[in-house]
Amino acid sequence: KYMVPEILFLRGLRKANRPLWNVSFPFHFGLYLLMATFLLLLLGAIAMLLGARIIPGSGAFPSFLYYGTILVGFAGLSLGTVGTAGLLHRRLADAEFKNYSGPVDYLNLLLFLVLFGAGLLAWLFHDHDFNGARVYVYSLLTFGDRPQGSMAGGTFLGWLTIVVASLVLAYIPLTHMSHMFMKYFFYHKVKWDDAANTRGGSLEVAIQDNLALRPTWNAKHVEADGRKSWLDIATSVSKEIK
C-alpha cells in the first residue's frame, strides 16, 4: 500500500522537500503518462490492424482510445515539459544542486526537455489527435506498411520526437536514470521487505556474500581500499573527516 503512492506521487519527497517535489513530480508523472500514451497508441494500432477506425463515434472502445490518447498524451507532454524545465532551472540556479551536478546531469535533462518539448509542439501544430503517432506505431507492427488512406511522410517535429525518444530508450540503461526500473530492488524492497533472515536461509547466504565484497569507494573516511571487505568496514571504528 506504500509502494504505489511512492512510485506514482513521490510521497517521501513531498514530505521531505516540497519545493523539489513541485518540479520533480510533474517530470516523473509526465513520464508515466507518456508511457501510458504509448500503450494507448499501441492498442490503437492493434485495433486498426483488426479493422477498427480510431475516430469519434466508431464504437465505445475506439472512441475511448481516441479521446484517452489525446487526454493522457497532452497531460503527459505538458507535465513533462514543465517538470523538466523546472528541474533544469533548479540545477542551474540552486547553489546546493550545483555542488553535485555534473555535465551528464544537464545532458539528461536536456534530452528529456527536447523529447517532451518536441512532442508537445508536434501535438500543438500538427498532430492534435495523435493519429500520426498511431500510424507510426502501426508501421512498426507491420514492418513499414501504413493504414489505407493515411498520409505519407511526417513532420520535422514528429520525426524529432521519434528520434529523441529512441535515443532516450537506448541511453537510459547506461545511466543512473535506470533507477526508474531498479528502484523496486534498491529502495522499496530494502525499505519494506520484511522477510525473516533465518539461520542457514537464502537471505543469510546473500548477506554473507555481500559482506565479503571488497569495495573501492573514493570516500576516504570509509577506507574502502579494495583490500577490506564490507564486514571489515562495518565492524571497524569510523574515521569520519570533519
pLDDT tens by residue, 199-229: 999 889 999 999 999 998 877 778 888 889 9
Closest CA to 41 of 129, 169, 134, 149: 134
Q: What is the mean pLDDT of residues 26-34?
A: 96
Q: 227 or 25: whose pLDDT is higher?
A: 25
Cβ atoms of 136 and 44 within 8 Å: the answer is: no
Angle between helices 103-125 and 156-171 (to 10 degrees): 150
**Which residues lie closer than 8 Å to 18 by C-beta, 6 or more apart?**
none
pLDDT at 238: 63
CA 196: distance to chain centroid?
Answer: 32
Q: Specify the higher pLDDT residue, 60 or 183.
A: 60
Radius of gyration of the chain (CA): 23
Confidence of residue 113 (pLDDT cuts 50, 70, 90): very high
Q: 138-174: buried (b, 16+ CB within 10 Å) or exposed (e) per residue?
A: beeeeeeeebeeeeeebeebbebbbebbeebeeebee
**What is the predicted pLDDT for the residue at 237?**
67
Pick the closest to residue 42 from 50, 95, 242, 154 (CA basis): 50
Residues 51-57: contacts with CB under 8 Å, at least 24 apart: 54/131, 54/134
pLDDT at 37: 97
DSSP state of 218: S
State pLDDT tens for residues 155-202.
899 999 999 999 999 998 888 777 766 766 766 677 767 788 889 998
- For residue 94, which amino acid is it? D
Joined together, the cell numbers standing for residue 148 give 489505407
The pLDDT of residue 45:
96
Rounded Cα distance, 157 and 155, in Å: 5
